[in-house]
Structure 1
Amino acid sequence: MISVLFAVLTAISNGSASVLQRRAASTVPDAEAMHLSLIRHLLRKKVWLAGIGLVVVAAVCQAVALATGPIAVVQPIFVIELPATLLIASCAFRVRLSRSAWRGVASVTCGLALGMAAAAPGGGSESVPGYRWIPALIVTGVFEAALIIWSRRLRGNARAALLGLAAACGYALTAALMKDAVSRLDNGGGVLALVSAWQLYGMAVAGVGALFLLQNALQAGSLVASQPMLTLGDALISITYGVTLFGESLRSGWWLLPELIGVALIAAGCVELARSPLMTGAKPPPPRVR
Protein backbone atom coordinates (compact mmCIF):
# COMPACT_ATOMS: atom_id res chain seq x y z
CA MET A 1 0.00 0.00 0.00
CA ILE A 2 2.86 2.40 0.73
CA SER A 3 4.29 1.96 -2.76
CA VAL A 4 0.88 2.60 -4.36
CA LEU A 5 0.29 5.72 -2.24
CA PHE A 6 3.64 7.26 -3.13
CA ALA A 7 3.22 6.26 -6.78
CA VAL A 8 -0.05 8.22 -6.85
CA LEU A 9 1.67 11.23 -5.25
CA THR A 10 4.42 10.96 -7.86
CA ALA A 11 1.88 10.90 -10.67
CA ILE A 12 0.10 14.01 -9.39
CA SER A 13 3.38 15.92 -9.04
CA ASN A 14 4.67 14.85 -12.46
CA GLY A 15 1.42 15.68 -14.22
CA SER A 16 1.29 19.15 -12.73
CA ALA A 17 4.95 19.70 -13.62
CA SER A 18 4.34 18.74 -17.26
CA VAL A 19 1.61 21.35 -17.63
CA LEU A 20 3.74 24.11 -16.09
CA GLN A 21 6.74 23.15 -18.21
CA ARG A 22 4.63 23.02 -21.36
CA ARG A 23 3.41 26.58 -20.75
CA ALA A 24 6.99 27.79 -20.43
CA ALA A 25 8.51 25.71 -23.25
CA SER A 26 5.84 26.71 -25.78
CA THR A 27 7.21 30.28 -25.75
CA VAL A 28 10.75 29.23 -26.74
CA PRO A 29 11.78 30.00 -30.37
CA ASP A 30 12.35 27.02 -32.68
CA ALA A 31 15.97 28.14 -33.19
CA GLU A 32 16.78 27.11 -29.61
CA ALA A 33 15.54 23.52 -30.00
CA MET A 34 18.09 20.83 -28.99
CA HIS A 35 20.48 23.53 -27.69
CA LEU A 36 21.53 24.36 -24.13
CA SER A 37 20.16 27.86 -24.74
CA LEU A 38 16.72 26.28 -24.37
CA ILE A 39 17.42 25.60 -20.70
CA ARG A 40 18.89 29.09 -20.18
CA HIS A 41 15.71 30.56 -21.64
CA LEU A 42 13.50 28.45 -19.38
CA LEU A 43 15.49 29.26 -16.24
CA ARG A 44 14.22 32.84 -16.51
CA LYS A 45 10.60 31.71 -16.27
CA LYS A 46 9.01 31.29 -12.82
CA VAL A 47 6.37 28.90 -14.11
CA TRP A 48 9.09 26.54 -15.37
CA LEU A 49 10.96 26.73 -12.06
CA ALA A 50 7.72 25.84 -10.26
CA GLY A 51 7.45 22.82 -12.52
CA ILE A 52 11.01 21.79 -11.65
CA GLY A 53 10.13 22.07 -7.96
CA LEU A 54 7.32 19.58 -8.50
CA VAL A 55 9.74 17.32 -10.36
CA VAL A 56 11.92 17.23 -7.24
CA VAL A 57 8.91 16.36 -5.07
CA ALA A 58 7.98 13.63 -7.54
CA ALA A 59 11.51 12.20 -7.46
CA VAL A 60 11.41 11.82 -3.66
CA CYS A 61 7.98 10.17 -3.77
CA GLN A 62 9.11 7.89 -6.60
CA ALA A 63 12.17 6.76 -4.64
CA VAL A 64 9.96 5.75 -1.71
CA ALA A 65 7.52 3.96 -4.03
CA LEU A 66 10.26 2.01 -5.80
CA ALA A 67 11.95 1.11 -2.51
CA THR A 68 8.73 -0.48 -1.26
CA GLY A 69 7.25 -2.07 -4.39
CA PRO A 70 8.02 -3.73 -7.75
CA ILE A 71 8.83 -1.40 -10.64
CA ALA A 72 6.18 -3.14 -12.78
CA VAL A 73 3.57 -2.06 -10.21
CA VAL A 74 4.82 1.44 -9.40
CA GLN A 75 5.58 2.86 -12.85
CA PRO A 76 2.27 1.98 -14.61
CA ILE A 77 0.36 3.84 -11.88
CA PHE A 78 1.93 7.03 -13.20
CA VAL A 79 -0.52 7.02 -16.12
CA ILE A 80 -3.07 8.60 -13.78
CA GLU A 81 -1.05 11.83 -13.76
CA LEU A 82 -3.13 13.32 -16.58
CA PRO A 83 -6.63 12.74 -15.14
CA ALA A 84 -5.48 13.62 -11.61
CA THR A 85 -3.90 16.88 -12.73
CA LEU A 86 -6.91 17.80 -14.84
CA LEU A 87 -9.30 17.24 -11.95
CA ILE A 88 -7.15 19.31 -9.59
CA ALA A 89 -6.85 22.12 -12.14
CA SER A 90 -10.60 22.17 -12.75
CA CYS A 91 -11.23 22.60 -9.01
CA ALA A 92 -8.50 25.19 -8.54
CA PHE A 93 -9.64 27.35 -11.46
CA ARG A 94 -13.36 26.57 -11.06
CA VAL A 95 -13.67 25.33 -14.63
CA ARG A 96 -16.19 22.62 -15.46
CA LEU A 97 -14.74 19.70 -17.37
CA SER A 98 -16.27 18.89 -20.72
CA ARG A 99 -17.89 15.55 -21.43
CA SER A 100 -14.93 14.55 -23.58
CA ALA A 101 -12.57 15.26 -20.67
CA TRP A 102 -14.65 13.11 -18.35
CA ARG A 103 -14.58 10.36 -20.98
CA GLY A 104 -10.79 10.67 -20.99
CA VAL A 105 -10.65 10.40 -17.20
CA ALA A 106 -12.85 7.30 -17.27
CA SER A 107 -10.87 5.76 -20.13
CA VAL A 108 -7.50 6.14 -18.40
CA THR A 109 -8.81 4.96 -15.04
CA CYS A 110 -10.60 1.91 -16.45
CA GLY A 111 -7.66 1.10 -18.71
CA LEU A 112 -5.22 1.16 -15.81
CA ALA A 113 -7.50 -0.96 -13.62
CA LEU A 114 -8.06 -3.51 -16.40
CA GLY A 115 -4.39 -3.66 -17.41
CA MET A 116 -3.09 -4.04 -13.86
CA ALA A 117 -5.72 -6.64 -12.93
CA ALA A 118 -4.95 -8.67 -16.04
CA ALA A 119 -1.15 -8.42 -15.82
CA ALA A 120 -0.97 -8.91 -12.01
CA PRO A 121 2.67 -7.76 -11.85
CA GLY A 122 4.75 -8.81 -8.89
CA GLY A 123 7.70 -10.75 -7.56
CA GLY A 124 11.27 -10.07 -8.59
CA SER A 125 14.38 -8.96 -6.74
CA GLU A 126 15.24 -5.61 -5.19
CA SER A 127 18.63 -5.27 -6.92
CA VAL A 128 20.29 -6.16 -10.22
CA PRO A 129 23.68 -7.86 -10.72
CA GLY A 130 26.09 -5.39 -12.33
CA TYR A 131 26.77 -7.49 -15.44
CA ARG A 132 23.05 -7.51 -16.36
CA TRP A 133 23.11 -3.74 -16.76
CA ILE A 134 25.57 -3.87 -19.67
CA PRO A 135 23.21 -5.17 -22.41
CA ALA A 136 20.34 -3.11 -20.99
CA LEU A 137 22.33 0.13 -21.22
CA ILE A 138 23.56 -0.69 -24.73
CA VAL A 139 20.06 -1.41 -26.05
CA THR A 140 18.67 1.68 -24.32
CA GLY A 141 21.43 3.88 -25.77
CA VAL A 142 20.87 2.62 -29.30
CA PHE A 143 17.10 3.05 -29.01
CA GLU A 144 17.43 6.59 -27.66
CA ALA A 145 19.94 7.57 -30.36
CA ALA A 146 17.68 6.23 -33.11
CA LEU A 147 14.69 8.22 -31.81
CA ILE A 148 16.69 11.45 -31.52
CA ILE A 149 18.23 11.11 -35.00
CA TRP A 150 14.82 10.33 -36.49
CA SER A 151 13.22 13.29 -34.71
CA ARG A 152 15.78 15.68 -36.20
CA ARG A 153 14.34 14.93 -39.63
CA LEU A 154 10.80 15.86 -38.59
CA ARG A 155 8.91 18.90 -37.38
CA GLY A 156 5.90 19.70 -35.21
CA ASN A 157 3.89 16.97 -33.51
CA ALA A 158 5.82 14.14 -35.19
CA ARG A 159 9.05 15.38 -33.60
CA ALA A 160 7.25 15.94 -30.28
CA ALA A 161 5.99 12.34 -30.28
CA LEU A 162 9.42 10.83 -30.93
CA LEU A 163 11.15 13.05 -28.38
CA GLY A 164 8.35 12.26 -25.90
CA LEU A 165 9.08 8.56 -26.34
CA ALA A 166 12.82 9.21 -25.98
CA ALA A 167 12.14 11.12 -22.76
CA ALA A 168 9.94 8.25 -21.55
CA CYS A 169 12.79 5.81 -22.14
CA GLY A 170 15.10 8.06 -20.14
CA TYR A 171 12.64 8.32 -17.25
CA ALA A 172 12.08 4.55 -17.26
CA LEU A 173 15.84 3.99 -17.10
CA THR A 174 16.05 6.54 -14.29
CA ALA A 175 13.42 4.61 -12.33
CA ALA A 176 15.20 1.29 -12.83
CA LEU A 177 18.54 2.74 -11.71
CA MET A 178 16.83 4.46 -8.77
CA LYS A 179 15.30 1.19 -7.56
CA ASP A 180 18.63 -0.59 -7.84
CA ALA A 181 20.42 2.26 -6.02
CA VAL A 182 18.01 2.56 -3.07
CA SER A 183 18.17 -1.21 -2.56
CA ARG A 184 21.66 -0.59 -1.14
CA LEU A 185 20.02 1.05 1.86
CA ASP A 186 17.87 -2.01 2.60
CA ASN A 187 20.79 -4.42 2.16
CA GLY A 188 22.54 -3.05 5.23
CA GLY A 189 25.11 -0.93 3.41
CA GLY A 190 23.62 2.34 4.58
CA VAL A 191 24.21 5.75 3.06
CA LEU A 192 27.85 4.95 2.25
CA ALA A 193 26.81 2.05 0.03
CA LEU A 194 24.27 4.28 -1.68
CA VAL A 195 26.66 7.14 -2.49
CA SER A 196 29.32 4.69 -3.71
CA ALA A 197 26.94 2.93 -6.13
CA TRP A 198 27.38 3.87 -9.80
CA GLN A 199 23.62 3.46 -10.25
CA LEU A 200 23.02 6.64 -8.24
CA TYR A 201 25.11 8.74 -10.62
CA GLY A 202 23.79 6.92 -13.66
CA MET A 203 20.30 7.79 -12.42
CA ALA A 204 21.26 11.47 -12.23
CA VAL A 205 22.65 11.47 -15.78
CA ALA A 206 19.64 9.61 -17.17
CA GLY A 207 17.24 11.92 -15.33
CA VAL A 208 18.88 15.12 -16.60
CA GLY A 209 18.97 13.71 -20.14
CA ALA A 210 15.30 12.74 -19.95
CA LEU A 211 14.39 16.20 -18.65
CA PHE A 212 16.26 17.83 -21.55
CA LEU A 213 14.47 15.60 -24.08
CA LEU A 214 11.11 16.35 -22.48
CA GLN A 215 11.63 20.11 -22.75
CA ASN A 216 12.39 19.69 -26.45
CA ALA A 217 9.35 17.48 -26.92
CA LEU A 218 7.12 20.08 -25.26
CA GLN A 219 8.69 22.84 -27.35
CA ALA A 220 8.32 20.93 -30.63
CA GLY A 221 4.59 20.27 -30.55
CA SER A 222 1.41 19.93 -28.54
CA LEU A 223 0.72 17.84 -25.46
CA VAL A 224 -1.57 15.67 -27.59
CA ALA A 225 1.54 14.44 -29.40
CA SER A 226 4.08 14.22 -26.58
CA GLN A 227 2.11 13.33 -23.44
CA PRO A 228 0.62 9.98 -24.54
CA MET A 229 4.03 8.83 -25.76
CA LEU A 230 5.62 9.99 -22.51
CA THR A 231 2.98 8.44 -20.26
CA LEU A 232 2.55 5.10 -22.01
CA GLY A 233 6.18 4.83 -23.01
CA ASP A 234 7.37 5.28 -19.44
CA ALA A 235 4.95 2.62 -18.15
CA LEU A 236 5.66 0.01 -20.84
CA ILE A 237 9.44 0.46 -20.90
CA SER A 238 9.54 0.36 -17.09
CA ILE A 239 7.63 -2.92 -17.14
CA THR A 240 10.21 -4.24 -19.62
CA TYR A 241 13.02 -3.27 -17.24
CA GLY A 242 11.13 -4.86 -14.34
CA VAL A 243 10.76 -8.17 -16.16
CA THR A 244 14.20 -8.36 -17.82
CA LEU A 245 16.36 -6.86 -15.07
CA PHE A 246 14.56 -7.44 -11.78
CA GLY A 247 12.89 -10.74 -12.70
CA GLU A 248 9.34 -9.49 -12.06
CA SER A 249 6.46 -11.49 -13.50
CA LEU A 250 3.40 -10.71 -15.62
CA ARG A 251 0.53 -12.89 -16.72
CA SER A 252 0.72 -14.08 -20.33
CA GLY A 253 -1.42 -16.25 -22.60
CA TRP A 254 -5.00 -15.09 -23.04
CA TRP A 255 -4.39 -12.42 -20.40
CA LEU A 256 -2.60 -10.48 -23.11
CA LEU A 257 -5.96 -9.56 -24.66
CA PRO A 258 -7.33 -7.59 -21.67
CA GLU A 259 -3.85 -6.15 -21.12
CA LEU A 260 -3.81 -4.76 -24.68
CA ILE A 261 -7.36 -3.46 -24.29
CA GLY A 262 -6.23 -1.67 -21.13
CA VAL A 263 -3.29 -0.08 -22.99
CA ALA A 264 -5.61 1.03 -25.80
CA LEU A 265 -8.03 2.62 -23.32
CA ILE A 266 -5.18 4.46 -21.60
CA ALA A 267 -3.83 5.74 -24.92
CA ALA A 268 -7.25 6.97 -26.05
CA GLY A 269 -7.84 8.64 -22.70
CA CYS A 270 -4.44 10.36 -22.73
CA VAL A 271 -5.09 11.82 -26.17
CA GLU A 272 -8.50 13.10 -25.10
CA LEU A 273 -7.18 14.64 -21.89
CA ALA A 274 -4.17 16.24 -23.56
CA ARG A 275 -6.56 18.22 -25.77
CA SER A 276 -8.19 19.90 -22.79
CA PRO A 277 -7.59 23.67 -22.47
CA LEU A 278 -6.55 23.08 -18.87
CA MET A 279 -3.67 20.90 -20.07
CA THR A 280 -2.56 23.06 -22.99
CA GLY A 281 -2.74 26.32 -21.11
CA ALA A 282 -5.34 27.76 -23.47
CA LYS A 283 -8.28 29.72 -22.15
CA PRO A 284 -11.21 27.36 -21.64
CA PRO A 285 -14.41 28.15 -23.51
CA PRO A 286 -17.20 29.87 -21.54
CA PRO A 287 -19.95 27.61 -20.22
CA ARG A 288 -23.10 27.33 -22.33
CA VAL A 289 -26.13 29.23 -21.17
CA ARG A 290 -29.20 27.02 -21.02
Structure 2
Amino acid sequence: MPIMVYVYGLVGACFLGLGFVLQQEAAARAPLADILSFRLLLDLMKVPRWLCGIGFMVIGQILSALALAGGDVSRVEPLLATNLLFAMALARYISGQRLGRAGWGGVVLLSGGVAMFMLAGAPEGSDGNHVGALRHWLVLGSVVAVALVLVVIARHLRLVEEPPLLAAAAGVLYGLQDAMTRESSTILDERGIVGLVTTWQPYAVVAAAVVGLVLVQSAFETGQLRQSLPALTAAEPLAGIVCGIGVLGDTVRVTPLAITGEIVGLSAAVGGVFLLGRHPAMPTGTASPDGEEAALDEGGRPR
Protein backbone atom coordinates (compact mmCIF):
# COMPACT_ATOMS: atom_id res chain seq x y z
CA MET A 1 0.00 0.00 0.00
CA PRO A 2 1.47 3.43 -0.97
CA ILE A 3 2.97 5.44 1.89
CA MET A 4 0.68 8.38 1.05
CA VAL A 5 -2.32 6.26 2.06
CA TYR A 6 -0.94 6.19 5.60
CA VAL A 7 -0.19 9.91 5.47
CA TYR A 8 -3.69 10.77 4.24
CA GLY A 9 -5.25 8.46 6.84
CA LEU A 10 -3.33 9.85 9.81
CA VAL A 11 -3.61 13.52 8.81
CA GLY A 12 -7.31 12.97 8.08
CA ALA A 13 -7.70 11.43 11.55
CA CYS A 14 -6.02 14.52 13.01
CA PHE A 15 -8.53 16.88 11.40
CA LEU A 16 -11.45 14.63 12.37
CA GLY A 17 -10.37 14.57 16.02
CA LEU A 18 -9.92 18.34 16.22
CA GLY A 19 -13.27 18.86 14.50
CA PHE A 20 -15.13 16.59 16.92
CA VAL A 21 -13.92 18.55 19.97
CA LEU A 22 -14.99 21.89 18.48
CA GLN A 23 -18.36 20.49 17.35
CA GLN A 24 -19.18 19.08 20.78
CA GLU A 25 -18.42 22.33 22.55
CA ALA A 26 -20.89 24.11 20.26
CA ALA A 27 -23.53 21.36 20.15
CA ALA A 28 -23.67 21.19 23.96
CA ARG A 29 -25.31 24.64 23.92
CA ALA A 30 -27.92 23.89 21.25
CA PRO A 31 -31.64 23.64 22.16
CA LEU A 32 -32.37 20.13 23.44
CA ALA A 33 -35.73 20.19 21.65
CA ASP A 34 -33.81 19.82 18.37
CA ILE A 35 -32.34 16.41 19.21
CA LEU A 36 -32.44 13.99 16.22
CA SER A 37 -33.88 16.76 14.05
CA PHE A 38 -32.39 18.47 11.01
CA ARG A 39 -33.27 21.74 12.80
CA LEU A 40 -30.29 21.00 15.01
CA LEU A 41 -27.95 21.42 12.04
CA LEU A 42 -29.66 24.68 11.07
CA ASP A 43 -29.22 26.04 14.60
CA LEU A 44 -25.58 24.98 14.76
CA MET A 45 -24.82 26.63 11.41
CA LYS A 46 -25.14 29.96 13.24
CA VAL A 47 -22.29 29.07 15.62
CA PRO A 48 -18.79 29.98 14.30
CA ARG A 49 -17.00 27.39 16.46
CA TRP A 50 -19.23 24.62 15.13
CA LEU A 51 -18.63 25.74 11.55
CA CYS A 52 -14.90 25.65 12.24
CA GLY A 53 -15.28 22.12 13.60
CA ILE A 54 -17.27 21.09 10.53
CA GLY A 55 -14.57 22.61 8.33
CA PHE A 56 -11.95 20.47 10.05
CA MET A 57 -14.19 17.42 9.71
CA VAL A 58 -14.73 18.04 5.99
CA ILE A 59 -10.97 18.29 5.45
CA GLY A 60 -10.58 15.08 7.43
CA GLN A 61 -13.26 13.37 5.33
CA ILE A 62 -11.59 14.46 2.09
CA LEU A 63 -8.22 13.14 3.26
CA SER A 64 -9.93 9.94 4.41
CA ALA A 65 -11.50 9.58 0.97
CA LEU A 66 -8.06 9.95 -0.63
CA ALA A 67 -6.72 7.27 1.70
CA LEU A 68 -9.65 4.97 0.90
CA ALA A 69 -9.19 5.58 -2.83
CA GLY A 70 -5.62 4.31 -2.64
CA GLY A 71 -5.88 1.73 0.13
CA ASP A 72 -8.02 -1.05 1.49
CA VAL A 73 -10.91 -0.21 3.82
CA SER A 74 -9.71 -2.80 6.32
CA ARG A 75 -6.33 -1.05 6.50
CA VAL A 76 -7.48 2.57 6.46
CA GLU A 77 -10.22 2.22 9.09
CA PRO A 78 -7.85 1.44 11.99
CA LEU A 79 -5.79 4.50 11.02
CA LEU A 80 -8.87 6.71 11.20
CA ALA A 81 -9.55 5.42 14.72
CA THR A 82 -6.50 7.38 15.88
CA ASN A 83 -8.60 10.57 15.59
CA LEU A 84 -9.14 10.19 19.33
CA LEU A 85 -5.42 10.77 19.95
CA PHE A 86 -5.66 14.16 18.28
CA ALA A 87 -8.96 14.98 19.97
CA MET A 88 -7.26 14.16 23.26
CA ALA A 89 -4.35 16.46 22.44
CA LEU A 90 -6.68 19.42 21.81
CA ALA A 91 -8.84 18.65 24.85
CA ARG A 92 -5.72 18.42 27.00
CA TYR A 93 -4.52 21.80 25.67
CA ILE A 94 -7.90 23.40 26.40
CA SER A 95 -8.23 21.91 29.90
CA GLY A 96 -4.57 21.95 30.93
CA GLN A 97 -5.08 18.43 32.31
CA ARG A 98 -2.11 16.04 32.29
CA LEU A 99 -2.46 12.63 30.67
CA GLY A 100 -1.47 10.57 33.69
CA ARG A 101 -1.31 6.76 33.72
CA ALA A 102 -4.78 6.23 32.28
CA GLY A 103 -4.16 8.67 29.44
CA TRP A 104 -0.81 7.21 28.46
CA GLY A 105 -2.24 3.72 28.85
CA GLY A 106 -4.98 4.64 26.38
CA VAL A 107 -2.42 6.03 23.93
CA VAL A 108 -0.35 2.83 24.09
CA LEU A 109 -3.39 0.55 23.76
CA LEU A 110 -4.90 2.45 20.83
CA SER A 111 -1.71 2.89 18.80
CA GLY A 112 -0.37 -0.56 19.71
CA GLY A 113 -3.71 -2.23 18.97
CA VAL A 114 -3.89 -0.64 15.52
CA ALA A 115 -0.32 -1.73 14.76
CA MET A 116 -1.01 -5.29 15.97
CA PHE A 117 -4.14 -5.62 13.83
CA MET A 118 -2.23 -4.40 10.77
CA LEU A 119 0.65 -6.80 11.32
CA ALA A 120 -1.46 -9.82 12.27
CA GLY A 121 -4.24 -9.42 9.72
CA ALA A 122 -2.23 -8.03 6.78
CA PRO A 123 -5.50 -6.78 5.20
CA GLU A 124 -5.66 -6.94 1.41
CA GLY A 125 -8.20 -5.37 -0.91
CA SER A 126 -9.90 -6.89 -3.94
CA ASP A 127 -12.05 -5.77 -6.84
CA GLY A 128 -15.12 -7.16 -5.07
CA ASN A 129 -16.24 -9.07 -8.17
CA HIS A 130 -16.35 -12.36 -6.26
CA VAL A 131 -18.82 -10.96 -3.70
CA GLY A 132 -22.31 -12.22 -4.55
CA ALA A 133 -25.36 -9.95 -4.58
CA LEU A 134 -26.97 -11.77 -1.65
CA ARG A 135 -23.91 -11.34 0.55
CA HIS A 136 -23.52 -7.73 -0.60
CA TRP A 137 -27.05 -6.68 0.35
CA LEU A 138 -27.21 -8.88 3.44
CA VAL A 139 -24.16 -7.18 4.94
CA LEU A 140 -25.34 -3.68 3.99
CA GLY A 141 -28.82 -4.35 5.35
CA SER A 142 -27.42 -5.75 8.58
CA VAL A 143 -25.19 -2.71 9.13
CA VAL A 144 -28.08 -0.29 8.56
CA ALA A 145 -30.29 -2.41 10.83
CA VAL A 146 -27.72 -2.24 13.63
CA ALA A 147 -27.65 1.57 13.39
CA LEU A 148 -31.46 1.71 13.43
CA VAL A 149 -31.72 -0.60 16.45
CA LEU A 150 -29.21 1.52 18.37
CA VAL A 151 -31.26 4.67 17.71
CA VAL A 152 -34.54 2.99 18.70
CA ILE A 153 -33.02 1.72 21.95
CA ALA A 154 -31.52 5.14 22.68
CA ARG A 155 -34.90 6.84 22.29
CA HIS A 156 -36.35 4.57 24.98
CA LEU A 157 -33.67 5.55 27.50
CA ARG A 158 -33.25 8.63 29.66
CA LEU A 159 -31.75 11.58 27.80
CA VAL A 160 -28.49 11.37 29.73
CA GLU A 161 -28.10 7.72 28.69
CA GLU A 162 -28.57 8.29 24.95
CA PRO A 163 -25.18 9.71 23.81
CA PRO A 164 -23.16 6.45 23.61
CA LEU A 165 -25.84 4.67 21.56
CA LEU A 166 -26.48 7.63 19.24
CA ALA A 167 -22.73 8.04 18.72
CA ALA A 168 -22.32 4.31 18.06
CA ALA A 169 -25.12 4.47 15.48
CA ALA A 170 -23.35 7.40 13.81
CA GLY A 171 -20.09 5.44 13.85
CA VAL A 172 -21.77 2.47 12.18
CA LEU A 173 -23.09 4.75 9.42
CA TYR A 174 -19.70 6.42 9.04
CA GLY A 175 -18.12 2.98 8.62
CA LEU A 176 -20.68 2.23 5.91
CA GLN A 177 -19.94 5.62 4.35
CA ASP A 178 -16.22 4.80 4.22
CA ALA A 179 -16.90 1.51 2.43
CA MET A 180 -19.23 3.21 -0.06
CA THR A 181 -16.61 5.93 -0.61
CA ARG A 182 -14.11 3.25 -1.59
CA GLU A 183 -16.64 1.59 -3.89
CA SER A 184 -17.53 4.95 -5.46
CA SER A 185 -13.84 5.62 -6.10
CA THR A 186 -13.53 2.28 -7.89
CA ILE A 187 -16.61 3.04 -10.02
CA LEU A 188 -15.17 6.46 -10.92
CA ASP A 189 -11.88 4.91 -12.03
CA GLU A 190 -13.59 2.23 -14.12
CA ARG A 191 -16.61 4.06 -15.59
CA GLY A 192 -15.88 7.76 -15.25
CA ILE A 193 -18.08 10.49 -13.81
CA VAL A 194 -21.13 9.51 -15.88
CA GLY A 195 -20.95 5.95 -14.60
CA LEU A 196 -20.58 7.25 -11.05
CA VAL A 197 -23.63 9.54 -11.02
CA THR A 198 -25.81 6.79 -12.50
CA THR A 199 -25.08 4.35 -9.65
CA TRP A 200 -26.50 4.40 -6.12
CA GLN A 201 -23.24 4.28 -4.16
CA PRO A 202 -22.38 8.03 -4.14
CA TYR A 203 -25.90 8.85 -2.97
CA ALA A 204 -25.51 6.29 -0.19
CA VAL A 205 -22.33 8.13 0.83
CA VAL A 206 -24.24 11.43 1.09
CA ALA A 207 -27.19 9.86 2.93
CA ALA A 208 -24.96 8.09 5.46
CA ALA A 209 -22.95 11.28 6.00
CA VAL A 210 -26.00 13.49 6.61
CA VAL A 211 -27.86 11.05 8.88
CA GLY A 212 -24.63 10.26 10.71
CA LEU A 213 -24.02 13.98 11.22
CA VAL A 214 -27.47 14.46 12.78
CA LEU A 215 -26.89 11.48 15.07
CA VAL A 216 -23.44 12.53 16.22
CA GLN A 217 -24.46 16.15 16.83
CA SER A 218 -27.42 14.90 18.86
CA ALA A 219 -25.01 12.76 20.89
CA PHE A 220 -22.70 15.74 21.38
CA GLU A 221 -25.67 17.89 22.37
CA THR A 222 -27.04 15.58 25.05
CA GLY A 223 -23.89 14.44 26.84
CA GLN A 224 -20.21 14.81 27.55
CA LEU A 225 -17.64 14.18 24.84
CA ARG A 226 -16.28 11.32 26.95
CA GLN A 227 -19.69 9.63 26.64
CA SER A 228 -20.00 9.88 22.87
CA LEU A 229 -16.58 10.03 21.21
CA PRO A 230 -15.32 6.60 22.38
CA ALA A 231 -18.44 4.88 21.03
CA LEU A 232 -18.20 6.79 17.74
CA THR A 233 -14.49 6.07 17.34
CA ALA A 234 -14.86 2.37 18.18
CA ALA A 235 -17.94 1.71 16.03
CA GLU A 236 -16.68 3.32 12.80
CA PRO A 237 -13.64 1.09 12.15
CA LEU A 238 -15.49 -2.05 13.25
CA ALA A 239 -18.36 -1.32 10.85
CA GLY A 240 -15.93 -0.29 8.13
CA ILE A 241 -13.94 -3.51 8.45
CA VAL A 242 -17.15 -5.57 8.35
CA CYS A 243 -18.25 -3.74 5.19
CA GLY A 244 -14.77 -4.00 3.69
CA ILE A 245 -14.71 -7.78 4.11
CA GLY A 246 -18.41 -8.47 3.55
CA VAL A 247 -19.17 -6.01 0.74
CA LEU A 248 -15.88 -5.14 -0.96
CA GLY A 249 -14.24 -8.53 -0.59
CA ASP A 250 -11.24 -7.40 1.48
CA THR A 251 -9.35 -10.28 3.06
CA VAL A 252 -7.38 -10.79 6.25
CA ARG A 253 -5.26 -13.70 7.38
CA VAL A 254 -7.34 -16.49 8.88
CA THR A 255 -4.69 -18.67 10.52
CA PRO A 256 -5.26 -19.31 14.24
CA LEU A 257 -2.28 -17.13 15.19
CA ALA A 258 -3.37 -14.31 12.88
CA ILE A 259 -6.97 -14.39 14.11
CA THR A 260 -5.74 -14.24 17.71
CA GLY A 261 -3.56 -11.24 16.88
CA GLU A 262 -6.41 -9.50 15.07
CA ILE A 263 -8.82 -9.99 17.98
CA VAL A 264 -6.24 -8.88 20.54
CA GLY A 265 -5.28 -5.87 18.42
CA LEU A 266 -8.85 -4.69 17.86
CA SER A 267 -9.72 -5.30 21.52
CA ALA A 268 -6.69 -3.30 22.65
CA ALA A 269 -7.56 -0.46 20.27
CA VAL A 270 -11.17 -0.34 21.49
CA GLY A 271 -9.95 -0.43 25.11
CA GLY A 272 -7.59 2.45 24.39
CA VAL A 273 -10.43 4.39 22.78
CA PHE A 274 -12.55 4.13 25.92
CA LEU A 275 -9.64 4.92 28.26
CA LEU A 276 -8.84 8.09 26.33
CA GLY A 277 -12.46 9.05 25.81
CA ARG A 278 -13.19 8.93 29.53
CA HIS A 279 -10.07 10.88 30.51
CA PRO A 280 -10.74 13.97 32.70
CA ALA A 281 -9.25 16.22 30.01
CA MET A 282 -12.22 15.59 27.74
CA PRO A 283 -14.84 18.40 27.80
CA THR A 284 -17.73 17.71 30.17
CA GLY A 285 -21.25 18.88 30.73
CA THR A 286 -24.29 19.67 28.68
CA ALA A 287 -25.31 23.28 28.76
CA SER A 288 -28.31 25.20 27.55
CA PRO A 289 -27.84 28.28 25.34
CA ASP A 290 -27.68 30.62 28.34
CA GLY A 291 -24.86 28.60 29.87
CA GLU A 292 -27.00 26.94 32.55
CA GLU A 293 -27.24 23.19 32.95
CA ALA A 294 -30.23 21.90 31.02
CA ALA A 295 -33.28 21.15 33.19
CA LEU A 296 -34.49 17.58 32.77
CA ASP A 297 -37.69 15.88 33.79
CA GLU A 298 -37.91 12.57 35.65
CA GLY A 299 -37.37 10.70 32.38
CA GLY A 300 -34.14 12.58 31.77
CA ARG A 301 -35.60 14.70 28.95
CA PRO A 302 -35.69 18.50 28.59
CA ARG A 303 -38.51 20.28 30.38
User: 2: CA distance between counterparts of 1:199 and 1:38?
Assistant: 26
> TM-score scaled by structure 2?
0.84
Partner letter of residue 18 of structure 2?
Answer: S
Q: Superposed, which structure 2 residues align to 1:118-197 within 5 Å?
A: 118-125=120-127, 131=133, 133-156=136-159, 158-187=161-190, 189-197=191-199
- 8 Å contact from structure 2 (residues 131, 248) kept in 1: no
Q: Superposed, which structure 2 residues align to 1:1-290 within 5 Å?
A: 1-87=3-89, 90=92, 96-125=98-127, 131=133, 133-156=136-159, 158-187=161-190, 189-252=191-254, 253-280=256-283
User: 2: CA distance between counterparts of 1:203 and 1:75?
Assistant: 16
User: 2: CA distance between counterparts of 1:140 and 1:272?
Assistant: 26
User: 2: CA distance between counterparts of 1:68 and 1:157?
Assistant: 40
Structure 2 regions of 5+ residues with no counterpart?
Answer: 286-303
Partner letter of residue 108 of structure 1?
Answer: L
- SS of 1:279's equivalent in the other structure is coil
Structure 1 residue 148 displacement after superposition: 1.1
- 8 Å contact from structure 1 (residues 127, 180) kept in 2: no
Partner letter of residue 170 of structure 1?
Answer: L
Aligned-residue identity in percent? 30
Distance 1:150 1:142, change over 3 A: same
What are the superposed Cα offsets for residues 120-145 of structure 1, whole Å, 9 maximum, x if unpaired?
21132267979454333322332222
Partner letter of residue 264 of structure 2?
Answer: I
In structure 1, the partner of 2:293 is: none
- 8 Å contact from structure 2 (residues 95, 281) kept in 1: no
In structure 2, the partner of 1:286 is: none
Aligned residues: 281
Partner letter of residue 72 of structure 1?
Answer: S
Structure 1 regions of 5+ residues with no counterpart?
Answer: 283-290
> TM-score scaled by structure 1?
0.87
- 8 Å contact from structure 1 (residues 157, 220) kept in 2: yes
- 8 Å contact from structure 2 (residues 116, 261) kept in 1: yes
- Report the more deviating stretch, 46-55 or 35-44: 35-44
Aligned alpha-carbon RMSD (Å): 2.4
- 8 Å contact from structure 1 (residues 126, 179) kept in 2: no
What are the superposed Cα offsets for residues 160-184 of structure 1, whole Å, 9 maximum, x if unpaired?
1111111011101111111111112
Write out the 4+ residue segments of structure 1 that deviate beyond 4 Å after TM superposition: 88-96, 126-130
Distance 1:273 1:46, change over 3 A: same
User: 2: CA distance between counterparts of 1:20 and 1:265?
Assistant: 27
- SS of 2:184's equivalent in the other structure is helix
- 8 Å contact from structure 1 (residues 119, 251) kept in 2: yes
Structure 1 residue 34 displacement after superposition: 1.6
Distance 1:146 1:90, change over 3 A: closer
